Amino acid sequence: MESISVNTAKRQELVDITSRVQHLVSQKEFKSGLLTIYCPHTTAAMTINEGADPSVARDILASLEKLVPWKGDYRHAEGNSDSHIKTSLTGPSVQVIVEEGRLMLGTWQKIFFAEFDGPRPRKVWLKWIAG
Amino acid sequence: MESISVNTAKRQELVDITSRVQHLVSQKEFKSGLLTIYCPHTTAAMTINEGADPSVARDILASLEKLVPWKGDYRHAEGNSDSHIKTSLTGPSVQVIVEEGRLMLGTWQKIFFAEFDGPRPRKVWLKWIAG
Amino acid sequence: MESISVNTAKRQELVDITSRVQHLVSQKEFKSGLLTIYCPHTTAAMTINEGADPSVARDILASLEKLVPWKGDYRHAEGNSDSHIKTSLTGPSVQVIVEEGRLMLGTWQKIFFAEFDGPRPRKVWLKWIAG
């Protein structure tokens, strides 16, 4: 298992980690297989979406905030229930195909660490399965 | 890696691709393992749900539209912010177990390509990991 | 493929199955690889979230219920459209890394079977890929 550190800068933020993941794939000489990119936190998640226009990430976060507001009628006393809920809506991991040592992503796809309760130092775990 | 072409017919649509995926599994003689079915687009996603009653797909799309309306207070200027957001809510891939050459799906489960910004010609990528 | 039975007790419920999954990993002597934990139902799903404070699970279910109410303007005639929709929002499976025979989960992470149309006897399927 490999690990990447991500230092987030805001309470809610999508951090593009694509080039760091590709760097690790190249460095480890992973050739053909499936890479699981896993978030070990319960107030952050993984997603894949458009990276070219930063407005897309902004719209995703704004929409999630509208659906699950920070302040609401929650029972969990830590003030971050919205972060936990957004995490389950987004999902704890993404699986990316690797061929000839390259992440197989669509033209506009980037891999994002979705911070929902930052800023914090975070980890992303990566598991390689050759195939 | 394998690839399937999907031509969608509407702006938003769930296209059942189960039989095409099973056909590929049979043709490639995949026996036991894990099949990742991956959507390389940022305004379309993959999901698994009931396929027997088409009202279920209709209700899923109608509910997503109520949660994330096509027209809204978005910053991304291409008029498809809702499609990007629905994509992150639904997820870029599904993993299906294969045993004895057959997709292991529950009684009512079908694999759907979730189009959120069609109609368009689309691709689905498939990665086989034996195990 | 392995299978676990889960008997749910309420219409909507997050059931922590972490210790049962770890037990199976130990029993089968799975060492290093990727474990797919798959829900073969269309009105239930899998998620990973905080297990320490049960209020988190309560808040997740309450928020999903606010977003997708049980009673609404649905076409599917079985009275469980909300359950199908919540299933697609949450996702059919989770992938967990295993190292040295242990589920690699973050400090607060637990694996939950998300029941959206219980109480019912349910199954969870598990597929091991060594790597």
pTM over 0.95: yes
**pLDDT tens sequence for chain B (131 residues):** 999 999 999 999 999 999 999 999 999 999 999 999 999 999 999 999 999 999 999 999 999 999 999 999 999 999 999 999 999 999 999 999 999 999 999 999 999 999 999 999 999 999 999 99
Element (DSSP H or E) covering residue A87:
helix A81-90
Interface residue C38 vs chain B (CB under 8 A): yes
CB contact under 8 A, C55 and A76: yes
Q: Which of B84, B95, B129 sits opposite A49 (nearest CB)?
A: B84
Q: What is the pLDDT of residue A130?
A: 98
Distance in angstroms (rounded) separating the CA atoms of residues A46 and A48: 7
Give chain C's mean pLDDT: 98
Nearest Cα to C25, choosing from C97, C110, C113, C106? C97
Q: What ipTM was reported for this prediction?
A: 0.97
CB C44 within 8 A of CB C113: yes
Q: Which residues between 39 and 58 in chain A have a beta carbon less than 8 angstroms from any beta carbon of chain B?
A: 47-50, 53, 55-56, 58
Q: Which of C33, C34, C76 sits opposite B56 (nearest CB)?
A: C76
Q: What is the CATH number of the domain that holds C45?
A: 2.60.120.460
Distance in angstroms (rounded) separating the CA atoms of residues A54 and C110: 32
Distance in angstroms (rounded) separating the CA atoms of residues C87 and B77: 31
In A, minimum Cα distance to C89 occurs at: A89
Q: Which residues between 68 and 87 in chain C have a beta carbon less than 8 angstroms from any beta carbon of chain A?
A: none
CB C85 within 8 A of CB C70: no
Q: What is the pLDDT of residue B25?
A: 98
Chain B neighbors of C97, CB-CB under 8 A:
none
Q: Which of B41, B75, B88 sits opposite A55 (nearest CB)?
A: B75
Q: Can you tell me whether residue A69 is helix, strand or coil?
A: coil
Chain C neighbors of A87, CB-CB under 8 A:
49
Peptide bond into B69 cis (omega under 30): no
Interface residue B121 vs chain A (CB under 8 A): no
Chain A neighbors of B70, CB-CB under 8 A:
none
Question: How many separate domains does chain C show?
Answer: 1
For an interface test with B, the pick among A31, A47, A50 (most B C-beta atoms closer than 10 Å) comes out as: A50
Element (DSSP H or E) covering residue C65:
helix C54-67
Interface residue A4 vs chain B (CB under 8 A): no
- What is the share, in percent, of chain C residues with pLDDT greater than 90? 99
CA distances from B65 to A76, A78, B12, B70, C84 (A): 29, 31, 9, 7, 15
Distance in angstroms (rounded) separating the CA atoms of residues A57 and A51: 8
Q: Which of C59, C106, C129 sits opposite A41 (nearest CB)?
A: C106
Q: Tell me the residue range of the domain where C114 lies.
A: 2-130
